[in-house]
Chains A and B, each alone.
Chain A
Amino acid sequence: MPKPTPAPLDEIDRRIIDALQGDFPVCDRPYAAAAQRLGIEEGELIARLQSMLARKVLTRFGPMFQIERMGGAFVLAAMAVPAAEWDRVNSAVNAFAEVAHNYRRESALDTPFNMWFVLATETKEGIAAAVEKIETATGLPVYPFPKLKEYFVEMKLVVRNAGEAA
């Protein structure tokens, strides 16, 4: 598997990422307003966002929804996928729209749970239905780990080492 490497980013790209992980304005010309705060032109900000999305430096640009506030649910779930069945199970799991993201994970203690994904559904009941569909499609058990309590959540990472060898 290819080892992920940081993308080449110049100083303006880094400032955009650091400054725009939230607080994007709601106004007639929001890119112009955000660009002004960054000391660049509106057109340059839009072009750089397009470029960073195309290069997959950004996975999205836009509103981040909290589906729980609309009656929905986000639930972390895991599976123990045998190596020989990895590709088949990976394709089957990712085919479900309810799977918002999915990571392969490994641990020093050889945890059996090597596939970790987040289910996002519009209703709380949708989680159990999605779990059942994935179990049927893969033939493997799915272990949901719903959050019982959240102690902290803030996902604002400052760009570091970008463009240099990791």
Chain B
Amino acid sequence: MSANDDLDRRLIVATQAGLPLVPRPYHALAEQLGTTADEVMARMNAMLERGTIRRIGAVPNHYAIGYTANGMSVWDVPDERIDELGAMVGALDFVTHAYHRPRALPAWPYNLFAMVHGSSREEVLAKVSEIEALLGGDCRCHDVLFSTEILKKTGLRISNSAG
């Protein structure tokens, strides 16, 4: 691993729990990592550009900001139509994530997952009905899994040692 990659890696380890809450956070990171603030900022910008950093900002606890109902809707649709259907479902403004995932037969027949957030289960179920109407005859069966408890939410944690 090159020295360049190593600094990126050390930056990730230093910031994965959060950015320092001080007026000059990139200077604080530079001091901690033995480099300059300009270098830290250049690395952050480069990682943003490459997509290694998706974005920098606040991650809200969705329960705390009023989204107390969170439904993972799951759908069994024909594999040969899934990309078309997935794009349609993903384009709905109340769907925050939509993925094609493998089935786990026989227990799990669903191959399209769409996350729907709302203030109540009724609101989520009403939105799920809209998805059902949109999919029409392409939907063979579906279910909605509501989260009842956050058991853990730490996000990515890579270890301090390389490799």
Interface, chain A (partner B; CB < 8 A) = 1, 4-7, 9, 14, 16-17, 20-24, 26-32, 42, 46, 49-50, 52-53, 55-67, 69-70, 72, 76, 78, 80, 90, 93-94, 97, 99-109, 111-113, 115-117, 120, 122, 143, 145-155, 157, 159-162, 164, 166
Contacts and interface: CB of A to CB of B under 8 A. Distances in A.
Given A28-B27, A149-B99, A69 B151 contact: no
A94 B151 contact: yes
B26 A101 contact: no
Contacts of A147: 99-101
A86 to B, nearest CB: 10
Contacts of B97: 150, 152-153, 155
B129 interface: no
Contacts of A120: 155-157
Contact of A46 (B15, B23, B100, B117): B23
Nearest to A4: B63
A102 B147 CA distance: 10
Contacts of B149: 1, 103-104
Contact of B58 (A4, A16, A31, A161): A16
Interface in B84-133: 86-87, 89-91, 95-102, 104, 107-108, 113, 117, 119-120
- Label chain B's interface by main secondary structure: mixed
Interface of B: 8, 12, 15-19, 21-27, 37, 41, 44-45, 47-48, 50-68, 72, 82-83, 86-87, 89-91, 95-102, 104, 107-108, 113, 117, 119-120, 143-159
Given A5-B68, A101-B154, A107-B145, A60 B51 contact: no
Nearest to A42: B23
Given A9-B65, A101-B150, A62 B15 contact: yes
Contacts of A57: 60-61, 64-65
Given A63-B44, A146-B101, A6 B53 contact: no
A149 B83 contact: yes
B153 A116 contact: no
A102 B104 CA distance: 20
A52 B15 CA distance: 18
Contacts of A72: 158
Nearest to B151: A102
Contacts of B19: 24, 61-63
A151 B156 contact: no
A78 B101 CA distance: 12
B53 A58 contact: no
A28 B23 CA distance: 8
